[in-house]
Structure 1
Amino acid sequence: MPTNDIKLRLRRLVACAGLVATAAANAQAPHVVKPGETLWGISGQQLSTPLRWPEVQERNQVGEPRLLQPGTVLYFADGRLVPEGAAVVAAVEGQASRQRAGGAEQTLTPGMPIQAGDTLITGTDAFVTLGLTGGSRIVLPSRSALEVLAIDATTVRLRLIKGRVESQVQKQQPNQQFEIRARSMGLGVRGTHFRVRDEDGLLTGEVISGEVVVERTAQATTTASAAPAEPPLVLRAGSGAVLLDNGPSVARGLLPAPQLLNETAQRSNRTFRFSPVPGAQTYRLQLARDERFLLPVHEQRGPGPSFEVPAELEPGFYQLRLTAFDAARLEGLPGDSTIYLPASAGSGTAGQGTSSVLSDGRVEVRWPGVAGQRYAFELSRSADFAVLLVNEPAVYATGMTLGPFALGGRYHWRARQATADSTAPAAAGFSGSFDIPAR
């Protein structure tokens, strides 16, 4: 064979090996969606062109691209490192690790696959989010440990060793099973949002939405006259129970969510006040980077009715969640709000908001407000709002996505709390502006 032909074949082999290595690298590097990202922008970053976003949508079974959720794990190669039915680390905040039997402890990183036999451990101020095929998510907060007993296309079985685990489980098919075990209890679910806590010697289960069935996983069988098995306990939305090792557990209603005071969301310091909940003994505050709390970054517990967020957290917009604990130490329903953390206590001014130009030309506007509150939103080319481009009298949100814009220049926006009484004075609002490059 001529020498030139041999060299040509070698070059082709090297090129093919490079393509295989590149594909393998892509398979090992799934992308975890961050707040504000779009398939258009992600495709441009990962695949060198935004025009391939339909491929990303189809490969990852994304339904509505405009509703892309933070924490979603996207793959870009045809061969996935994580088999169908397995789990992957969607997000990590702080120090967290994975322990495998007979193996060394490994630091958790986004995109890492999780399999049966793994034990996940979070340190102080650390949070881990697991993504499962089908859209289910599991959040492991600070000072917690969770063992993966089984995980495949039909079964997810986890064991809470200590701490807490919060699950957002998509509706299960008839042949699918999702269960969390803790001590001698097994909690099976069918499409629900719920918490399991083993803290300070107390085991509890609390259901925010959906339904959970609690059964004992081990019954006394030492004698023939052993007592019959207890009937399962059904926990429905808005209820919880202290799960007893001995004796029946009783479902009870959860405390309502604490309400963040409106003026607190607009203040320029890091102290957040809320209305006390009758019957509450203590409260918990959590902060996350996304509305579903799949990207938590901070939590603290105290007597209320206020919390001060530490200066270590970066300034910017966050989702704030408040819950109340009753006398039985059950954690109540969550109350969520969008808040803004200034650079330091006492800096900034009330009424500030932010706007960011997305990679597809649209603009995301956000303001610190209370979730579920109505806001009147206006957009104009002039600072006096003489001519309105957008006039939404009742927006049930704390942000708007606008555009794309055909004309360049400066745009002005403002949002204020909407009132049922049109003659009432306008509430203090939020405002800002953004610039669109001329074409």
Structure 2
Amino acid sequence: MYTAFRFTFLLALGLSFSVLSMQPACAAKTAGEPGTVVNTPPDMTYYALKGDTLSSIALRYTEKLSNWSIIGKRNKIGNDRTIPVGSAILIPLELLPEEMSSAKVVALAGQATAKNTAGAETALEIGATLTEGSQISTSRNGFLSLVLPDNSRISIPSNSQVKLSKLRMAKYTQSPRTEITLVQGRVESTVTPLESNKGRFEVRSPLAIAGVRGTHFRVGVNDNGIASEVLGGKVAVGKPEKPATVLLPAGQGNIVSRNAVGKPVALLNPPTLSGNYQLQEKPTVQISIDKMERATAYRAQIASDSQAQNLLAEGRVSGLDTDTRFKFDGLPDGQYFVRATAIDGVGLEGLPVILPFTLKARPEPPFSVQPKAKLRADKVDFAWTEAADAKTYRLQVANDAAFKDILLDQTGITDIRLTADTLKPGTYFWRAASISQKNGQPDQGPFSDAQRFVLMPPQQAMAPFTDGGDKELSFNWPSEPGQKFLVQIGRDAGFTSLYLSQELDKSELRIPRPDAGQYFIRVRATDPDGYIGAFSSTQKVSIYSRWTTSNGEALMSSGGAVRAGY
């Protein structure tokens, strides 16, 4: 029994002796510039100075003398003695003290404010620096993006309130130690990988904690609790008193309620955008989404970058609505990206689709004035309103609504009207565009909506009239079925003094013989669809004086009615 004990004791001594005798040589194998440090995750490597001990190193770099034993174990050094000059000593990163960090505003749309720890509130601007304890609020149309020193991004959409509860980094290595508290709304984080440098990034709320080592995820407050949605990497989710209950991989999410940490649920697939969204030619951007099963709502966001981190606008529509279309106003012309997601029944927002589009709506086109549905004329007068910023205009006339068969393409028009006399009767489409000056060059905006019109032959004039001396005069003209007419006889060519103005249901006028003199006659047709055409060309009618019999009939001779002059 004594022999066995003695053997074990000696063996233990032998092992201890081996370790103690070998480690200084082992530590001395790696040498560097004495007094320098290098970040070598998960440690920081320190190259010893003359006279350094584990205690002095622990106090200098971790600010706790007691940490010498942890550093000794990490380096397999069993006692607190002098370290050879230049020896590489590994100091675990989690032992390093923290120093204050900051966040910088890199994108801002609308209004956002920050309240510091003293309660002072300021309006945020791009380039502003925020420190630990700042509480950020975004307005109804406010969007904010922050960047941390390690290039992690925090995006705060509209109607949200977020507190930067902890903004720190490890001294010497700048390993991040970040805690975000979500008070209201949503927050989206794209976190630079932290696994190797022992950094921490957490999003906290009254009900849940989401902790990551480097990933892309969202956290939001909804009616069912706290929603976590993972777009890349993994997120550990749990309650404050029991963190990391569930590990969510990319493409999954869960709800943490007051009563439970929900199980992982697959996020809805990205939705499909419909229609020609790629080119927006009106100031109001319109984005339509195809309906999806299980989706109770949809969200669309407009961003200036392909990662949709710099948000400019967003909207949400119910999946129960017939029209799942978003409308966004107030955007200047330019290149944008739309990010769209579907939201399921418990409020989890699905995977996004991000697609580019171009907004080119300016200079805005003029409003069309004429022609409208149809006209009867031998020439067409096109007219439009004067558009803001327009220097000239462009007019197109085509046989088809798609303007593939263009008959007239006139640019550089300085007036707001143009007459075309080469069009034959038929159906046509026309549109106009404004042209302004931009950087010294012509800048054409989009065309107005195509206007359809039917060109018909002009109202034909009456048959030539010859006074035959009759007591009653008869006039007639060509017509179409169902037309009604307005006939005017004037005493002058300008019809300022009318002898007669009469509406008729047929293309014939009979009137008693007027006094001798010069008259002018014209006719205007109204079609069955209500279209009122232009007056026909004017005809001159000469009525002469005549000799009559006792019964009022014209006195006749072999040459016809006997004239007495005008």
Provide the TM-score with structure 1 as the length reference: 0.55
Q: 1:301 aligns with which of 316, 324, 329?
A: 316
Measured in 2, the distance between the counterparts of 1:322 and 1:208 equals: 14
Distance 1:113 1:266, change over 3 A: closer
2:306 aligned residue: 291
**Residue 322 (structure 1) aligned with residue 340 (structure 2):** yes
Q: Distance in 1 between the 2:353 and 2:244 partners?
A: 33
**In structure 1, distance between residues paired with 2:200 and 2:179:** 8
Residue 184 of structure 1 corresponds to which residue in structure 2? 207
Partner residue in 1 for 2:187: 165
Quick one: which amino acid aligns to residue 157 of structure 2? Answer: P
Q: State the distance in 2 between where 1:282 and 1:345 align.
A: 35
User: How do residues 52-131 of structure 1 correspond to structure 2 at under 5 angstroms?
Assistant: 85-131=101-147
Find the partner of 1:150 among 149, 162, 166: 166
Q: Structure 1 residue 87: deviation in Å?
A: 1.3
* Aligned residue number for residue 245 of structure 1: 258
Q: What letter matches 1:307 in structure 2?
A: R
Cα distance, 1:131 vs structure 2: 0.5
Query: What whole-Å deviation, never above 9, does each CA across 1:368-389 have from its counterpart, x for those lacking one?
Result: xxxxxxxxxxxxxxxxxxxxxx
Are 2:281 and 1:263 equivalent residues in the alignment? no
Q: Is the 8 A contact 2:217 2:229 kept in 1?
A: yes
Deviation at residue 294 of structure 1 after TM alignment: 2.1
Instruction: Please identify which structure carries the higher strand content.
Output: 2
CA 1:132/1:160 → structure 2, altered by over 3 Å: closer, same or farther?
Answer: same
Q: What is the rounded CA distance, in whole Å, between the counterparts of 2:129 and 2:104 in structure 1?
A: 4
Which amino acid in 2 is paired with 1:259?
T
Q: CA-to-partner distance for each residue in 1:11-52, whole Å, 9 max, x for gaps?
A: xxxxxxxxxxxxxxxxxxxxxxxxxxxxxxxxxxxxxxxxxx
The verdict on how the C-alpha distance between 1:186 and 1:104 changes in structure 2, with shifts beyond 3 A counting, is same
State the one-letter code of the partner of 1:132. Answer: L
Identify the range of structure 1 (97-106 vs 283-292) with the bigger mean alpha-carbon deviation: 97-106
**SS of residue in 2 equivalent to 1:291:** coil
Q: Letter of the aligned partner of 2:152 in structure 1?
A: S
Conserved in 1, the CA contact under 8 Å of 2:239 and 2:261? no
- Poorly superposed stretches of 4+, deviation over 6 Å: none
The amino acid across from 2:318 in the alignment is: P
| Shift in Å, 1:201 | 5.7
The structural deviation recorded for 1:324 is 0.3
The aligned counterpart of 1:385 is none
Q: Distance in 2 between matches of 1:278 and 1:251?
A: 19
User: Relative to 1, partners in 2 of residues 1:217 and 1:146: Cα closer, same or farther, differing over 3 Å?
Assistant: same
Contact 2:207-2:226 within 8 A present in 1 as well? no
3-state SS of 1:329 partner: coil
- SS of match in other structure, 2:335: strand
- What does residue 358 of structure 1 align with? none
Question: Which residue number in structure 2 is paired with residue 208 of structure 1?
Answer: 231
Q: CA deviation at 1:347?
A: 5.8
Alpha-carbon shift at residue 156 of structure 1 (Å): 0.3
Are the counterparts in 2 of residues 162 and 199 from structure 1 also a CA contact under 8 Å?
Answer: no
Q: What one-letter code is carried by the residue in structure 2 that aligns with 1:290?
A: D
Any stretches of 5+ residues in structure 1 without a counterpart? 1-82, 219-228, 349-439
Task: State the 1:248 CA deviation.
Answer: 3.2
Identity of aligned residues (%): 31
DSSP 3-state at the match of 1:264: coil
In structure 1, distance between residues paired with 2:243 and 2:167:
28
Counterpart CA distance in 2 for 1:267 and 1:86 is 39
SS of the residue 1:336 aligns to: strand
Instruction: Choose 1 or 2 for highest CA Rg.
Output: 2
The residue type paired with residue 215 of structure 1 is G
Residues 189, 292 of structure 1: alpha-carbon distance in 2 compared, 3 angstrom cutoff? same
1:116/1:344 Cα in 2 relative to 1: closer, same or farther (>3 Å)? same
1:272 to 279, 287, 292: 287
Aligned pair count reads 257
Deviation at 1:174, TM superposition (A): 4.0
Q: Secondary structure at the match of 1:215?
A: strand
Shift of the alpha carbon at 1:327?
1.3
Deviation digits for residues 206-263 of structure 1 (CA, Å, limit 9, x no counterpart): 0011100012213xxxxxxxxxx58611111000111112123111000000122363
Equivalent residue runs for 1:7-46 within 5 Å: none
Q: Deviations over 1:368-419 (max 9, x none)?
A: xxxxxxxxxxxxxxxxxxxxxxxxxxxxxxxxxxxxxxxxxxxxxxxxxxxx
Structure 1 residue identity aligned to 2:192: Q
Taking a change above 3 Å as real, the CA distance of residues 341 and 307 of structure 1, as seen in their structure-2 partners, is: farther
Shift of 1:325: 0.6
Cα offset for 1:84? Answer: 7.8
CA–CA distance in structure 1, aligned partners of residues 160 and 243 of structure 2: 29
Unmatched tracts of structure 2, length 5 or more? 1-98, 170-175, 367-566
Contact 2:207–2:257 (CA under 8 A) maintained in structure 1: no
Q: CA RMSD in A?
A: 2.4
Q: Is the 8 A contact 1:159 1:182 kept in 2?
A: yes
Structure 1 CA distance, aligned partners of 2:244 and 2:164?
A: 26
Counterpart Cα distance in 2 of 1:257 and 1:142: 22
CA-to-aligned-CA distance 1:277-322 (integer Å, 9 cap, x gap): 2211110010001111221100000036642433322222210010
Counterpart residue number, 2:408: none
- Distance in 2, matches of 1:285 and 1:314, equals 18
Q: Deviation digits for residues 323-370 of structure 1, max 9, x if unmatched?
A: 00111111000001101223279969xxxxxxxxxxxxxxxxxxxxxx
